């Protein structure tokens, strides 16, 4: 997976800023996507492109358990969120619904990757290659069960 990085240098980005509550009744995913990150970055929808990545600090996706958050991000073009840690409900909603990949990273990746950098993520090697800076970082591997769910295309497609 190759794309550009949109970086938010903060922790605890919650689902209320990922998709504000007033849009929870919107069932058209394309329209929902136009409001992604609106609570934090009102210009997000105009700068995100298909295949982009979000990079953030700790506890990304905390707050309510709304599935709208990963849906809005994925339909805006985001393929993965890279963070130091995730709220577990956001992590599982992202994986189970096959909306986007929640990729846990280490501090060196967080500090070394900048806004606008082009990166290439190789899940099979658990590597993130920063093509802009010619640097490579390790990502935390997915657990065996999460890897199988991702490979199946979500929980509904997973057959143990």
Q: What structural domains does the chain harbor?
A: 2-157 (3.20.19.10)
Do residues 79 and 3 touch, judged by C-beta distance below 8 A? yes
pLDDT at 60: 98
Residue given tokens 């979500």 in the structure block? 154
Q: Which two tokens stand for residue 78?
A: 């985001």
Whole-model pTM: value is 0.96
pLDDT at 33: 96
Alpha carbon distance 105, 128 (integer Å): 9
Strand order across the beta sheet in which 80-83 lies: 101-104, 80-83, 53-56, 2-7, 118-122, 127-130, 135-138
Angle between helices 88-96 and 68-76 (to 10 degrees): 60
Q: What is the mean pLDDT of each run of 10 residues along the chain (160 residues)?
A: 97 96 94 96 96 98 92 98 97 96 98 98 97 98 96 94
Do residues 148 and 38 touch, judged by C-beta distance below 8 A? no
Pairing of strands 80-83, 101-104: parallel
Local structure of 24: helix, strand or coil: coil
For residue 88, give the nearest of 111, 64, 120, 72 by alpha carbon: 64
pLDDT at 82: 98
Q: C-alpha angle with apex 35: 114 to 8, nearest 5 degrees?
A: 20
């Amino acid at each position: 997976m190759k794309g550009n990085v949109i970086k938010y240098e903060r922790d605890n980005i919650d689902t209320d800023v990922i998709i504000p509550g007033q849009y929870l009744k919107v069932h058209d995913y394309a329209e929902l996507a136009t409001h992604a990150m609106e609570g934090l970055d009102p210009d997000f929808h105009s700068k995100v492109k298909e295949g982009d990545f979000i990079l953030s600090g700790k506890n990304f996706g905390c707050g309510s358990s709304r599935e709208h958050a990963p849906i809005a991000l994925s339909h805006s073009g985001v393929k993965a969120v890279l963070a130091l840690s995730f709220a577990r409900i956001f992590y599982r909603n992202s994986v189970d619904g096959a909306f986007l990949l929640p990729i846990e990273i280490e501090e060196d990746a967080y500090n070394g990757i900048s806004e606008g950098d082009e990166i290439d993520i190789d899940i099979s090697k658990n590597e993130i290659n920063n093509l802009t800076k010619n640097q490579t970082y390790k990502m935390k591997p997915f657990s065996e069960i999460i890897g199988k769910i991702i490979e199946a295309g979500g929980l509904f497609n997973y057959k143990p």
